[in-house]
Amino acid sequence: MTTTALKHNKQAMYLPAILLIWFLLIVGLSLNQFFITEKGAPPLNLLMTGGLSLSAFFIAYWRMPEFRNYVLNIDMRLLIILHSWRTLGVGFILLYYVGELPALFSFLAGIGDAVVAVSAVFLTYAMFTNTKGVSTKAVFRWNTFGLLDFVIALSVGVLTRTDAILFQASSVSSDLMTQFPFVLVPAFLVQVFTLTHIIIYLQLKNKYQNNIQF
């Protein structure tokens, strides 16, 4: 095995370990009610952890050539098919029907996640079977839609908290999403999926000019 291959395998082992440590940290913070805020106050701690994770990624990407090389060589099909797990977002709609979440947030987040998840499966299938490759525009559009879905869902989630601007539209708030275990969605899963979106953009910019082929 070459030195380059050994380094790549070593980095591939580091990534699950980092994700596990990150996950356990978020669990510990959420169990200590770190993400719960006063009524009417924005979820600053939640936003702060998101900002820290993104900052850490970009610092490592810009300052560590080996990490950057590893990121740019992750199989894009794997990054995309991971989003099939976003079918779990339908659970937001179920929580609306049991009176735990407001309709505006539940349906926007749930339907948006479902569309992203199903289209991710079809896109990945096309990348495996289409001998001519998949258009970079198709990947870019799917990736942008998936990222915008997060931005919209998170924004509406903040705005439907108790005493927030959109809270008056419903007698139910989105405060549940700052409580354990539900807070693991915005505090961990959304951040991980957001990083996969960013990596796909970076790969599109650095590796592929016309069609994505494997």
The pLDDT tens digits for 152-193 are 999 999 999 988 887 766 678 999 999 999 999 999 999 999
Q: Quick one: how far is CA 180 from the chain centroid?
A: 18
State yes or no: pLDDT of 36 exceeds 70. Answer: yes
What is the pLDDT averaged over residues 2-25?
A: 71
Q: Can you give the pLDDT at residue 132?
A: 76
Token pair in block for residue 193: 């999926």
**CA terminus-to-terminus distance, the chain:** 23
CB distance 157 to 165 below 8 Å? no
| Residue-averaged pLDDT of the chain | 88
Distance CA 79, CA 161 (A): 32
Peptide bond into 43 cis (omega under 30): no
pLDDT tier, 144 (very low <50, low <70, confident <90, very high otherwise): very high
State yes or no: pLDDT of 137 exceeds 50. Answer: yes
State yes or no: pLDDT of 209 exceeds 70. Answer: no
pLDDT tier, 41 (very low <50, low <70, confident <90, very high otherwise): confident
Q: Can you give the pLDDT at residue 42?
A: 82
Q: Can you give the pLDDT at residue 18?
A: 85
The half-sphere exposure of 48 on its side-chain side, counting CA atoms within 13 A, is 8
Q: Can you give the pLDDT at residue 149?
A: 97
What is the pLDDT averaged over residues 35-40?
A: 83
State yes or no: pLDDT of 14 exceeds 90. Answer: no
What is the pLDDT averaged over residues 50-59?
A: 94
How far are the Cα atoms of 7, 16, 168, 173 from residue 11, in angstroms, in the given order?
Answer: 6, 9, 49, 42
pLDDT tier, 10 (very low <50, low <70, confident <90, very high otherwise): low
Q: Can you give the pLDDT at residue 214?
A: 45
CB distance 202 to 139 below 8 Å? no
Q: Can you give the pLDDT at residue 16?
A: 81
Q: Can you give the pLDDT at residue 170?
A: 64
pTM to 2 decimals? 0.89
User: How much of the chain exceeds pLDDT 90, in percent?
Assistant: 68
Distance CA 126, CA 105 (A): 32
Q: Can you give the pLDDT at residue 7?
A: 55
